[in-house]
Structure 1
Amino acid sequence: MKKTIVITGASTGIGRATALYFAENDWQVAATMRSPDKETELQKIENINVYQLDVTNQTSIDKAYESISSDFEKIDALLNNAGYALYGPFEISTPEQIRKEFDVNVFGLMDVTRTFLPKFREQKEGLIMNISSMGGKITFPLISTYHSTKFAVEGFTEVLAYELEGLGIKAKLIEPGNIATDFGGRSMKFAASDVVTDYNPYVENMMAMMQAAGPDMYSQPEVVAEVIFKAATDGTDQIRYIAGEDAKQLISMRQENGDEAYVKHMKSQYAIKDNG
């Protein structure tokens, strides 16, 4: 019998690439997204079923779970992929913006996990994979709340691995670096202010550095899909899987040199240049 994976946020980027990769490798895929009516390509693939699921709406999660459980006798893996980044100085990020980011990246992930756990307990086996980020281990300026959500996902998943081991259920983390998806477009929101302008030189400096880096700094989403497939099939108790050369280098740099050296390096790279 073919194995089945459930994927949230499967309409674009990592989620979409992963749905296609698992389907190509003979898995059944339950690809979930907020607006399945806009999806055309995945609907045409024989072993991919598309479902409506909004991770911020428990009713939507429950309906998707009921439909998927009805269509598939067994669910082998859940990939919590849905997420986005709020970009900008913390001070000008509104409480509503911050809460929404946590609702998607943390609480939505937890709600989906809680909904599928009884199925895994009943089966006495299952795998939960949560998309974190190298941003769950290291930090960059101007995405403080995004880093906060990913640090939360790291801690949550590591504790899940403890709690679920005796039940035959595994929990794993995927830590991508910069990926060539629409993350900088549809999946990235910006906090801005016409009143507080003190941060503008810092933001402009950061944006200029990002644009100067160009496309070579990004890995393709298929790179992450391959790592996710390895995590799902290697049969090990490994918890963390890094995806992308930049993530490997930066996480390694912090581990080898220590926190203070990493922060000092980041300050030197991203400090506002004095034009005085």
Structure 2
Amino acid sequence: MKKTVLITGTSTGFGAATAYNFAEKGWNVIATMRDITMGKELSRLNNVLVTRLDVQDRKSIDAAITLAIEHFGKIDVLINNAGYGQFGIFESISREAILNQFEVNVFGVMDVIKAILPHFRSHKGGTIVNISSGAGAIGFPMASVYSASKFALEGLSEGLRYELASVGIKVKLIEPGGAMKTGFGTRMGSEIAALKPAEEYIPFLTRIGKLYGGMEGNSDPDAVEKVVAAIYDAALDNTHQLRYTPTNDIAPILKARRSTSEQAYQSFTDSLFLGE
């Protein structure tokens, strides 16, 4: 029997590319998104079911999982890809914007996992692949809220790994780089205009804007292909490996974070972000 994967956030980016990759490899694919009009091309594939799933709408989560099981009989892999990044000086970000970041990147993931676990347990197996970020291991300036949400996702995934292994379910984390590809450098002007940070932050914003602009230019050019390949490998990996870091752009900072002393890491990041 063909295996079946349910993927959230497949309208664009990693989600769309991942849906096409699994479909091309012969899987049944449930490609979910908030606006299904964005999935017209995917829906033309015979082994792809496009359906609505908004991670902030629990009824849509339940409906998508029920429809997927009715259509394909079973779900083998869940890929939690839906998410976005809230950027800006923390002091200037509204409480509502912070709550929304966590609603999508953390609580939405929790709700999708909770909804599918009874199905996985009934089949004594399944794999959950959560799309994190290098920012889930490193706190980036101008991305403190985004990093906080991804740190939470990492903690959730690591804790769940032990619980769910006891019932035959695997948990995987993908940590792409590419945080700098989100346009940090060009966001500085809009950050100042829209969020109106205190004037004292302006010199720091200017410096960080230049730094991130340079980092963006050095982002891994094959990031999408590498991330999609890592997601597929994680879905098939029968080992207990938790974290997969597919792109080269984040590797030096992750190595400093995980392979050196706290003092050495702080010295490295201070020189990077504070110019000290």
TM-score of the superposed pair, with normalisation by structure 2: 0.91
Q: Output the CA distance in 2 between the equivalents of 1:174 and 1:4.
A: 19
CA contact (8 A) 1:86 1:190 kept: no
Q: Relative contact order: is structure 1 or structure 2 higher (C-alpha 8 Å, sep ≥ 6)?
A: 1
Q: 1:61-98: per-residue Cα shift (whole Å, max 9, x none)?
A: 11111211111111100000111111111111110000
Q: Secondary structure at the match of 1:75?
A: coil
Cα distance change, pair 101–78 in 1 and its aligned pair in 2 (3 A): same
Per the alignment, residue 222 of structure 1 pairs with 225
What CA distance in whole angstroms lies between the structure 1 residues aligned with 2:162 and 2:266?
30
Equivalent residues in 2 for 1:1-276, closer than 5 Å: 1-178=1-178, 183-184=182-183, 192-194=194-196, 196-218=198-220, 219-271=222-274
Deviation at 1:179, TM superposition (A): 6.4
Contact 1:88 1:203 in 2 (8 A): no
Residue 171 of structure 1 aligns to which amino acid in structure 2? V
Structure 1: segments with no counterpart, 5+ residues: none
CA gap 1:223/1:179 in 2 versus in 1, 3 angstroms: farther
| Cα distance in structure 1, aligned partners of 2:65 and 2:148 | 28
Provide the rounded CA distance (Å) in 2 between the counterparts of 1:151 and 1:66.
30
Three-state SS of the structure 2 residue aligned to 1:142 is coil
The separation in 2 between residues aligned to 1:103 and 1:8, in whole angstroms, is 15
Give the Å deviation of 1:197: 2.3
Q: Distance in 2 between matches of 1:45 and 1:21?
A: 12
Q: Over residues 172-204 of structure 1, what are the superposed CA-to-partner deviations in whole Å (9 max), with x where a residue is unaligned?
A: 1111111697x449xx99684336222122122
Higher helix share: 2
- Within 2, Cα distance between the matches of 1:65 and 1:237? 26
SS at match of 1:40: helix
Hey, what's the Cα distance between the residues in 2 that align with 1:11 and 1:20?
11
Aligned residues: 270
The answer on whether the counterparts of 1:61 and 1:112 sit within 8 Å (CA) in structure 2 is: yes
d(CA) in 2 for partners of 1:18, 1:43? 14
Q: Deviations over 1:81-128 (max 9, x none)?
A: 111111111111110000000000000000000001110011111011
Distance 1:190 1:114, change over 3 A: farther
Deviation at 1:24, TM superposition (A): 1.4
Instruction: Indicate if the aligned counterparts of 2:86 and 2:101 stay in contact, CA closer than 8 A.
Output: yes
Runs (5+) with no aligned partner, structure 2 = none
Structure-2 separation of matches of 1:96 and 1:239: 32
The answer to whether the Cα contact below 8 Å between 1:101 and 1:146 also exists between their aligned partners in 2 is yes
1:12 and 1:116 map into 2 onto residues whose CA distance is 23
> Secondary structure, in 3 states, of the residue corresponding to 2:200?
coil
Deviations 1:147-182 (A, max 9, x none): 11111111111111111112111111111111697x
1:240 maps to a residue whose letter is: R
- Cα shift readout 1:5-45 (whole Å, capped 9, x = no counterpart): 10001111111111111111111111100101132221122
Change (3 A) 1:151 1:180: closer
Residue 271 of structure 1: how far off its partner (Å): 2.1
The answer on whether the counterparts of 2:180 and 2:215 sit within 8 Å (CA) in structure 1 is: no
Cα pair 1:18 1:222 within 8 Å, conserved? no
Partners in 2 of 1:179 and 1:254 — Cα distance? 16
- Secondary structure, counterpart of 2:199 in structure 1: coil
Counterpart-to-counterpart distance in 2, 1:48 and 1:84: 24
Tell whether the 8 Å contact from 1:205 to 1:272 is kept in structure 2 after alignment.
no
Task: Please state whether the residue corresponding to 1:129 is helix, strand or coil.
Answer: strand
One-letter amino acid of the structure 2 residue matched with residue 166 of structure 1: S
